[in-house]
Amino acid sequence: MQNKTVDARGMACPLPVVNAKKASEEMTEGGVLTVLVDNEIAVQNLTKFAASRGFQSSAEKKGEKDFAVTFQIPEKDAQTAVSQPTASSEPTCAPDSKKHGLVAVLSANTMGNGEEQLGKILMKSFIFALTKQDHLPETILCYNSGAYLTCEGSDSLEDLKSLEAEGVKILTCGTCLDFYGLKEKLAVGGVTNMYEIVEIMENAGTIVRP
């Protein structure tokens, strides 16, 4: 068992998660990994990363811009045992678990180039049309000005909430929310980071961009 501390203060997304991932993989004997960050978005991203890896985690706020996220890292053999099926497991015909199915990427709060007002009308129509499809997207990713779509005041909130109620995972870039001052106005879905955005897009069956 070993203890390790990663100082990720001042690092932009997704570096805190990337460095935490690298450090956790190096801790083959297990132990306690502590990651120091300076903002709540990074805390949320690290907590989500821990959950995705099956690590127990906790977060402590030490100051206004001083947070510590702690992971309990199991031994490497234990991690492998958790992730791999036992020899007696019956084979199944499930689809590839790495695939994220249909992913809709909303990188702006307007659709197309030209008049901004028209672009907003088109985007609203696009999201409404998504709710009427026979096959709904598995995930919707919102980043850059697309972050406005999931926040208070968005004309598409009801449609997005309807999609979420149907099981669609809606994720908005935390760095983008912070940049536009929308962190406290998120009204649907959860917060994500660039590491997860790349991972989802890389493993998507199909990507739709308006």
Q: Where are the beta strands (DSSP E) in the chain?
A: 2-7, 31-37, 56-63, 66-73, 102-106, 139-142, 169-173, 190-192, 206-208
pLDDT digits (tens, 9 = 90+) for 126-164: 999 999 998 999 999 999 999 999 999 999 999 999 999
Domain with CATH 3.30.110.40 in the chain: 2-81
pLDDT-derived band at 75, boundaries 50, 70, 90: confident
Q: Provide the pLDDT for residue 14.
A: 80
Token pair belonging to 67: 């947070």
Distance CA 59, CA 77 (A): 26
Q: Are 29 and 61 in contact (CB under 8 A)?
A: no
Long-range CB pairs of 119-126, under 8 A, 24+ apart, other chains included: 120/155, 122/210, 123/149, 123/156, 123/210, 124/155, 124/156, 124/159, 126/210
Dihedral sign from CA coordinates of 10, 178, 208, 122: negative
Q: Would you say 105 and 71 are in contact if contact means Cβ atoms under 8 Å apart?
A: no
In angstroms, how far is CA 45 from the centroid of its own chain?
7
Residue 2: band (very low, low, confident or very high) from pLDDT cuts 50, 70, 90: confident
pLDDT tens, 37-56?
A: 999 888 988 998 999 889 99
Distance CA 154, CA 167 (A): 20
Strand 66-73 vs strand 31-37: parallel, antiparallel, or unpaired?
antiparallel
The 10s digit of each residue's pLDDT in 180-204 is: 999 999 999 999 999 899 999 999 9
What pLDDT is attached to residue 92?
36
* Pair of tokens at residue 131: 């709710």
Rounded Cα distance, 154 and 158, in Å? 9
- Reading the block at residue 42, the tokens are 């990074």
CA distance 1 to 115: 60
3-state secondary structure of 181: coil
Looking at 3.40.190.10, 3.30.110.40, 3.30.470.20, 3.90.79.10, the CATH number of the domain 2-81 comes to 3.30.110.40
Return the structure tokens found at 91.
């084979």
Residue ranges, comma separated, of all CATH 3.40.1260.10 domains in the chain are: 102-208
With bands split at pLDDT 50, 70 and 90, how would you rate the model's confidence at 13?
confident
Q: Topology of 102-208 in CATH?
A: Hypothetical Protein Ychn; Chain: A, (3.40.1260)
